[in-house]
Structure 1
Amino acid sequence: MIYQYFPNLFEASLFNDAELVFSDGSMKVSRMILAGHSKYFYDFFTKNVTKTKFDIKNLKMANFKVYYEYLHSGDDFKIDGDKIVAFLQVQIELNLPDIRIKLIEWIKKKDFVIYLGIFYENSNRSELEEYHNLTEQLITINFKALCEIKAFDSFTRDNFLRLMRKDFIKDKDQVIILDIIARWVEYDFSNRKWDWLDLVSQIDYEKVERITLWEYVEKNEKIYLTPDLMKFLIPKIRVRKDEKIVVSSVGSKNSYSKMILFGGSNSLQSVVEIDIKQNSVKTIGNLSIGKWCHCSEKIGNDVFVLGDINSKKIEKYNLESNKSEVLSFEMTCNKHYYSSVVHSNRIYVIGGYLNGNLFDTVEYFEPEKMKWIDAPKLLQSIGRHSSVIVDQIIYAVGDCYSNKFQSFEPEKMKWIDAPKLLKRIGFHDSVIVDEIIYAVGDYDSNNFQRFDPREGKWSFLANIPNKTSFTALSVFGHTITCSGGEGTESLCQVYDIRNDKWDELANLTNRVYGAKSIENETSIIVAGGENSNQIQSYNKINKTWSIMDIKLPYKNYHSSKIWL
């Protein structure tokens, strides 16, 4: 203990006690002890030696008491996590030489390891940079022990991001880092999920050897709630060449809770929200211009409702305000039966029909720049097709008149011939499960095909029992569900990916064609359809369909949808 100002105390006549008033209370103190130890208090008290009550609002009494205990206890003082935080706050204000030495001494003790996280968290101010940097070095030395006690889970966002820099994690076990990140995110998922992708993008995946990324995904199911993270991890999931490839549910085990329908043939301007968890349906807004046989794409909190056969206008619908705005920039023509995808915040519009003719135009819309840009044309005109993205490559799937399959790399801005479909398809849907494209439904065949980009080829799967088009398609886990459709209005056909097998659920209560659907762990909801405003629900537990009490505001089919 250093009492460097004691020799001056008698001359200053600081014999009587004083009362210090803090922001959270007051207490009586010995002016002799405080002024002898600290220049801060020596100057503080000698300004007015007759004064007995002093305001010191820049310190809290709770923190000061720890410091005062230290002055009284000397070498018998016992440090712990709470006292560390208090000492740091005192040091910011007093800047005492012997406290600086003591803090560094405490940090380096072996039995102090359990407090390193607390010290790091509370030393991030510029005045404490010396301690902060030293603590980071000690965290590296004691990293394994800190992981075992889950020392990082409660870190604030700023401190965690500062610690998990690329230069800090590069020499650590990358699997352990992945686990630390997952635990930190799940500790406060709603506020931290947005950082998950940025954090794991710094991992060196060549060093992920102890467990596969697939096991990581299985262990941390909330990854399924962050689609962008799934898209990032899927290409990196490793399967050893000498092992049998196991079909996973990556990319399909979603937990969507809402489906929003935009427009449709009988409700051209409506915007309807269907909440599968709340079993609710409500009109949340209206479009300014009615649309049907069109597409909608989501970027951030905005949904861009694209044009149709009757209008080139684009509307931007905000999901927070539920307000719609007609943009000044239109589509280049009144087309329909086109497809659209989003890549790097660009909306690509591909092919379609114009005045009854197929065409090969591809263009993309940049919302930030508010303009359309021509992209290279398709190698062949297509319509009534679908488009999907796998590993940053856009695929245009199917066409009523050919079995051509085309792919586009946005970075190279070039279309190339991909392996042809085994049979032409149209009026179908394409879905992605485990980075494999499944082309579902067809207007004149019950053939069912998939394309694996890793193998670079199409293959036939088990035929769908009853050919269908304009079906309500939903995907969950290892299953693809087709509800209703042209020629199968009352059927619900389910494909099991793991067993390459189709099955039929109980018949729908009402026949539907052109409906939309959403699915989760417990139910399937099928909404609308041609000449229907009813909503049907399938209970996966008792395996029955029922008509819900709630209805769509209008009969609805050929709407566009997004899942949230």
Structure 2
Amino acid sequence: MELNTKHRKLSKTKNSVRIPSTARSRLTKRKTVVRKRKCACLPENYSIVEFPPIWNELRQNGQLCDGTIVCSDLKSIHVHRAILSAVSPYFRAIFVNSLKKGEPEETKIIVDVPSYHMKLILDYAYTGTCAVTAENVEYLLPYADKFDVVGVIQLCCQFLLQELRPHNCLGIFKFARYYFCGELEKKGKLYIRQNFSRILKECIEFKSLAYDELEDILRDDELNVRNEEIVFQAVKTWVEYDLENRKKYIPSLLSCVRFGHISYKYFKLNILQWQPVVDDMKNQEVLYPAIVFHTLLDSRPGAEADLNDPLARPRIPYEILFAVGGWSAGSPTSFVETYDTRADRWFLSIHMDLTPRAYHGLCSLNNLIYMIGGFDGSDHFNTVRCYDPVTNTWHERACMYQARCYVSVVVHDGLIYALGGYNGRTRMSSVERYYPNKNQWEMTTPMNKQRSDASAASFAGKIYIVGGFNGQEVLNSAEVFDPDSKQWTFIRSMLSPRSGVSLVAYRDCLFALGGFNGYSRLNTGERFNPQRGGDWQEVTEMFSARSNFATALLDDMIFVIGGFNGSTTIPHVECYDGDTLEWYDAAPMNLNRSALSACVLTGLPNARSFSYLAKAVPAAGADQVHPA
């Protein structure tokens, strides 16, 4: 759905709450009051209103009607003036003739609105709701705005909020701004920030943005872009769409790009060689500090960019990776590290109210982190703790039926599954699942095999689990659970036995990475496409062999974190890019850890507090420990 924001805005009579557009330039004081009023749309607060059914019955039967509305297509609609006045200050003012006191009340109104849209507004007046669609919302909202029918405005804004997509969000954002739907405008801007890369590819309206709108987006610290090459590409795409008229904006737009996060090779080949830069000395002057920055950095192999330099100021990440607990320096730990992917930095926190543990399960659900089971060196736990990153607090949740360390944990369809594990006596095949809304666990169908130190993932409506240890041997078998039939079924076995393995659902495939095959730690991986069947296939090897490590999906890449390499715990982190099919080094953790777990939270309202911009000490280059 694309919205046309260029059509003439509907003006209003003196009875309207809002000022006619033609009068806004003259009534500057009144204008300020209107624009600062509380937004009427409030889409997140909307709820269905129930009106007495008799109202609509009277309307449909044409009974007790005492007013008439004549529409622009000359169709007349009989109404009940009291009912229409109850939902619209505009109609109330006209029907009771409040501007001409002492004159007879009006019973007939002529409106410049087609009968189709007028009937939708009447549907709301008589029933509390109306059918908002992609085809009618562009006109229905302005008409509701004209008549001050707040309920219809809310319905339209709620619909548009649900319809936000990369291809239409810019149109909806402009539409919301045009009609002063502040809450919808705010949500639209947030959506644009979070989905900018897709918008650049999919939204044809991007090239029609005004200069100030584009600059506002590109300068935003919270713009969610995997790298700054995307920001430069946005500048290039927008400018070249109308080069003659837009080239004057190049210097200002280039200053939106954080060149310290662009590779020297890309900078030389794509930015310095961009024709508008080659042809214009002013553009070259804007880029001079970036040239000096990259030249100095390139002359010192192995040196890291100074993130305190404005050219290298990192943006605030949309996704925050949390690595929790694990085994370090011979004992379990309660430390939590968060990773800022924009700055490629880890920050260490001490959570005083978190019990040290390792070999636990970890997952995120509704932007909360659940820590399940585990082992502290002596006890095996059935306890569950929940972390709220906004309040920075841990809370106890209902305990599992069975103690589980080496447990496999997965979120599926809003529920948390705990599969297998070790209770201190035996390796288990049992499975239980947690209902967050009820704070209750229930037992469900056990697996075909006993599995501890296995790994599970949710994919295409089913739950998969691979590898593990049954007490006698390391397993290469894999099985799948169908929640509808509540049945476990074996699938093709992996190429290698793996315990301490990590299973990740990524780009239509399941990736089984690393682990221990009974003899050595592995740096190998394999993938399986459940929808195509067939065999497991080898994937590019990791740099480090590791078992009992953590994995997470971040920036559309697989991150592997820490683990045990056969002789020591390691802090090393690397990421797999599905586009290049290659592994890349990322910044190591502050601690060597194995038997840890990790998960990712997205769109946190306090994401800045977990970012480099909040954590870093300006004068120091080292990571700091911050008590939580």
Name the TM tier (shorter chain): 0.5 to 0.7
Q: Show the counterpart of 1:313.
A: 383
Runs of at least 5 residues in structure 2 that lack an aligned partner in the other structure: 1-13, 24-71, 73-87, 98-105, 142-151, 177-183, 193-197, 207-216, 226-315, 602-609, 613-619
Change (3 A) 1:300 1:189: farther
Alignment partners' CA distance in 2, 1:325 and 1:184: 39
Alignment partners' CA distance in 1, 2:123 and 2:140: 23
Shift of 1:324: 3.0
Superposed counterparts of 1:396-415, under 5 Å: 396-400=465-469, 401-415=474-488
Q: Is the 8 A contact 2:514 2:545 kept in 1?
A: yes
Amino acid at match of 1:100: I
Alignment partners' CA distance in 2, 1:452 and 1:217: 31
Q: 1:486 aligns with which of 557, 565, 582?
A: 565
Shift of 1:478: 6.2
Percent identity between matched residues is 17
Shift of 1:216: 5.3
Q: Is the 8 A contact 2:479 2:489 kept in 1?
A: yes
Change (3 A) 1:319 1:282: same
Q: Show the counterpart of 1:497.
A: 578
Amino acid at match of 2:371: V
SS at match of 2:410: strand
Q: Show the counterpart of 2:622.
A: 548
Shift of 1:427: 1.3
Q: Show the counterpart of 1:184.
A: 172
Q: Show the counterpart of 2:546.
A: 468
Shift of 1:469: 2.2
SS at match of 1:423: coil
> When the two structures are superposed, what TM-score results if normalisation uses the length of structure 1?
0.52
Shift of 1:402: 1.7
Shift of 1:348: 0.8
Report the count of equivalent residues: 382
Given the alignment of the two structures, is residue 451 of structure 1 paired with residue 528 of structure 2, yes or no?
A: yes
Amino acid at match of 1:92: R
Bigger radius of gyration among the two: 1
Shift of 1:314: 2.2
Alignment partners' CA distance in 2, 1:474 and 1:349: 18
Change (3 A) 1:138 1:479: closer
Superposed counterparts of 1:4-43, under 5 Å: none
Shift of 1:296: 2.8
Amino acid at match of 1:369: K
Alignment partners' CA distance in 2, 1:378 and 1:285: 35
Shift of 1:219: 11
Q: 1:300 aligns with which of 366, 379, 398?
A: 366
Given the alignment of the two structures, is residue 337 of structure 1 paired with residue 406 of structure 2, yes or no?
A: yes
Q: Is the 8 A contact 1:436 1:450 kept in 2?
A: yes
Superposed counterparts of 1:65-464, under 5 Å: 89-95=89-95, 100-104=109-113, 107=114, 126=124, 158-161=155-158, 179-180=167-168, 183-184=171-172, 191=187, 256-265=318-327, 268-269=333-334, 281=347, 283=349, 286-287=352-353, 289-309=355-375, 310=379, 311-327=381-397, 329-400=398-469, 401-443=474-516, 444=520, 445-457=522-534, 458-464=536-542
Shift of 1:396: 0.6
Deviations 1:450-482 (A, max 9, x none): 011121132122344553224454544564444
Deviations 1:193-241 (A, max 9, x none): 9999xxxxxxxxxxxxxxx99975999999999xxxxxxxxxxxxxxxx
Shift of 1:270: 5.4
Greater share of residues in strand: 1
Alignment partners' CA distance in 2, 1:482 and 1:473: 5
SS at match of 1:427: coil
SS at match of 1:426: coil
Alignment partners' CA distance in 2, 1:502 and 1:137: 47
Q: Is the 8 A contact 2:322 2:599 kept in 1?
A: no
Q: Is the 8 A contact 1:280 1:550 kept in 2?
A: no
Alignment partners' CA distance in 1, 2:557 and 2:134: 47
SS at match of 2:109: helix
Structure 1 segments (4+ residues) deviating >6 Å: 63-66, 132-143, 193-196, 212-215, 217-225, 515-520
SS at match of 1:326: strand
Alignment partners' CA distance in 2, 1:299 and 1:510: 26
Shift of 1:90: 3.5
> When the two structures are superposed, what TM-score results if normalisation uses the length of structure 2?
0.48
Q: Show the counterpart of 2:5.
A: none
Deviations 1:161-209 (A, max 9, x none): 45899xxx9xxxxxx998446753797586369999xxxxxxxxxxxxx
Instruction: Give the alignment's Cα RMSD to 1 decimal.
Output: 5.7
Alignment partners' CA distance in 2, 1:438 and 1:351: 20
Change (3 A) 1:483 1:102: closer
Q: Is the 8 A contact 2:428 2:451 kept in 1?
A: yes
Change (3 A) 1:384 1:259: same
Shift of 1:339: 0.7
Amino acid at match of 2:156: N
Q: Which piece of structure 1 moves more, 389-398 or 88-97?
A: 88-97
Alignment partners' CA distance in 1, 2:426 and 2:133: 69
Alignment partners' CA distance in 1, 2:540 and 2:154: 49
SS at match of 1:450: strand
Shift of 1:372: 2.1
Q: Is the 8 A contact 2:572 2:589 kept in 1?
A: no
Runs of at least 5 residues in structure 1 that lack an aligned partner in the other structure: 1-55, 67-83, 109-115, 144-154, 170-175, 197-211, 226-253, 521-534, 538-545, 555-564
Greater RCO (Cα-Cα under 8 Å, separation 6 or more): 2
Change (3 A) 1:316 1:61: closer
Q: Is the 8 A contact 1:339 1:387 kept in 2?
A: yes
Shift of 1:373: 1.1
